[in-house]
Amino acid sequence: MAVKTYSKQALVKNYRTMVLEFENVPFDLQKQRELIYEYGVEDNEITKMADKFLLLDLDYFLKNSPKWHGFKIEDDPSQPLEKWWWHLNKIVRGEFPEDKLPEHLREIYRERYLKK
Protein backbone atom coordinates (compact mmCIF):
# COMPACT_ATOMS: atom_id res chain seq x y z
CA MET A 1 0.00 0.00 0.00
CA ALA A 2 1.39 3.38 -1.01
CA VAL A 3 1.88 6.05 1.61
CA LYS A 4 0.39 9.40 0.67
CA THR A 5 2.82 12.30 0.84
CA TYR A 6 2.08 15.99 0.58
CA SER A 7 3.93 19.09 -0.47
CA LYS A 8 4.44 21.29 2.58
CA GLN A 9 3.35 24.36 0.64
CA ALA A 10 0.19 22.60 -0.59
CA LEU A 11 -0.67 21.60 2.99
CA VAL A 12 -0.34 25.17 4.17
CA LYS A 13 -2.40 26.57 1.28
CA ASN A 14 -5.11 23.93 1.74
CA TYR A 15 -5.33 24.71 5.46
CA ARG A 16 -5.62 28.43 4.72
CA THR A 17 -8.39 27.76 2.18
CA MET A 18 -10.23 25.52 4.63
CA VAL A 19 -10.23 28.25 7.28
CA LEU A 20 -10.99 31.23 5.05
CA GLU A 21 -13.71 29.45 3.06
CA PHE A 22 -15.06 27.32 5.90
CA GLU A 23 -18.69 27.54 4.80
CA ASN A 24 -17.94 26.26 1.28
CA VAL A 25 -15.14 23.75 1.76
CA PRO A 26 -16.09 20.43 3.33
CA PHE A 27 -13.11 19.18 5.27
CA ASP A 28 -11.81 17.71 8.44
CA LEU A 29 -10.02 20.73 9.89
CA GLN A 30 -8.44 18.82 12.74
CA LYS A 31 -6.89 16.19 10.48
CA GLN A 32 -5.57 18.87 8.14
CA ARG A 33 -4.05 20.78 11.08
CA GLU A 34 -2.52 17.51 12.30
CA LEU A 35 -0.77 17.14 8.94
CA ILE A 36 0.56 20.70 9.28
CA TYR A 37 2.04 19.60 12.62
CA GLU A 38 3.43 16.31 11.27
CA TYR A 39 5.10 18.02 8.32
CA GLY A 40 6.63 20.68 10.56
CA VAL A 41 5.10 23.74 8.90
CA GLU A 42 3.49 25.24 12.00
CA ASP A 43 5.80 28.25 11.94
CA ASN A 44 4.94 29.11 8.35
CA GLU A 45 3.43 32.61 8.24
CA ILE A 46 0.42 31.38 6.23
CA THR A 47 -0.22 28.68 8.83
CA LYS A 48 -0.05 31.24 11.64
CA MET A 49 -2.40 33.58 9.80
CA ALA A 50 -4.90 30.75 9.22
CA ASP A 51 -4.63 29.72 12.90
CA LYS A 52 -5.48 33.29 13.92
CA PHE A 53 -8.48 33.48 11.60
CA LEU A 54 -9.65 30.12 12.92
CA LEU A 55 -9.48 31.28 16.54
CA LEU A 56 -11.14 34.61 15.74
CA ASP A 57 -14.23 32.85 14.35
CA LEU A 58 -13.98 29.52 16.16
CA ASP A 59 -17.29 29.78 17.99
CA TYR A 60 -19.03 30.53 14.67
CA PHE A 61 -17.29 27.59 12.96
CA LEU A 62 -18.21 25.17 15.72
CA LYS A 63 -21.86 26.25 15.80
CA ASN A 64 -22.28 26.00 12.03
CA SER A 65 -20.19 22.98 11.05
CA PRO A 66 -23.16 20.58 11.37
CA LYS A 67 -25.20 22.72 8.96
CA TRP A 68 -22.36 23.30 6.49
CA HIS A 69 -20.52 19.98 6.65
CA GLY A 70 -22.98 17.56 8.20
CA PHE A 71 -20.95 16.85 11.33
CA LYS A 72 -20.13 18.49 14.62
CA ILE A 73 -16.48 19.22 15.35
CA GLU A 74 -15.64 17.29 18.50
CA ASP A 75 -12.68 17.44 20.85
CA ASP A 76 -10.38 14.44 21.17
CA PRO A 77 -9.37 14.14 24.85
CA SER A 78 -6.85 11.42 23.95
CA GLN A 79 -4.72 14.06 22.21
CA PRO A 80 -2.16 16.05 24.21
CA LEU A 81 -3.01 19.68 24.96
CA GLU A 82 -0.05 20.84 22.86
CA LYS A 83 -2.16 19.77 19.88
CA TRP A 84 -4.66 22.53 20.53
CA TRP A 85 -6.65 21.83 17.31
CA TRP A 86 -8.02 18.67 18.93
CA HIS A 87 -9.50 20.78 21.77
CA LEU A 88 -11.46 23.47 19.90
CA ASN A 89 -14.60 23.24 22.02
CA LYS A 90 -12.55 23.56 25.19
CA ILE A 91 -10.95 26.69 23.70
CA VAL A 92 -14.34 28.29 22.95
CA ARG A 93 -15.51 27.56 26.49
CA GLY A 94 -12.38 29.29 27.86
CA GLU A 95 -11.29 26.07 29.58
CA PHE A 96 -8.07 25.55 27.66
CA PRO A 97 -4.74 26.32 29.39
CA GLU A 98 -3.42 29.43 27.68
CA ASP A 99 0.21 28.33 28.01
CA LYS A 100 -0.50 25.29 25.80
CA LEU A 101 -1.46 27.51 22.87
CA PRO A 102 1.21 28.77 20.49
CA GLU A 103 2.30 32.30 21.25
CA HIS A 104 0.59 33.72 18.15
CA LEU A 105 -2.84 32.62 19.44
CA ARG A 106 -2.69 33.60 23.10
CA GLU A 107 -3.86 37.19 22.80
CA ILE A 108 -6.86 36.19 20.67
CA TYR A 109 -7.71 33.48 23.20
CA ARG A 110 -7.50 35.90 26.13
CA GLU A 111 -9.62 38.52 24.40
CA ARG A 112 -12.30 36.26 22.92
CA TYR A 113 -12.69 33.22 25.12
CA LEU A 114 -11.33 33.68 28.62
CA LYS A 115 -14.09 34.65 31.04
CA LYS A 116 -13.37 37.84 32.89
- The pLDDT-based confidence of 93 (bands split at 50, 70, 90) is very high
Percent of the chain residues past pLDDT 70, beyond the cut: 90
The answer on pLDDT for 64 being more than 90 is no
The larger pLDDT score, comparing residue 99 to residue 68, is at 99
The answer on pLDDT for 42 being more than 60 is yes
Q: Is the pTM above the cut of 0.75?
A: yes
Percent of the chain residues past pLDDT 90, beyond the cut: 58
The larger pLDDT score, comparing residue 108 to residue 19, is at 108
Other Cβ atoms less than 10 A from the Cβ of 115: the count is 6
Query: Residue 83: in which H helix or E strand, if any?
Result: none
Where are the chain's structural domains?
Answer: 8-112
Q: Judge contact between 72 and 28, C-beta under 8 A.
A: no
Other Cβ atoms less than 10 A from the Cβ of 82: the count is 11
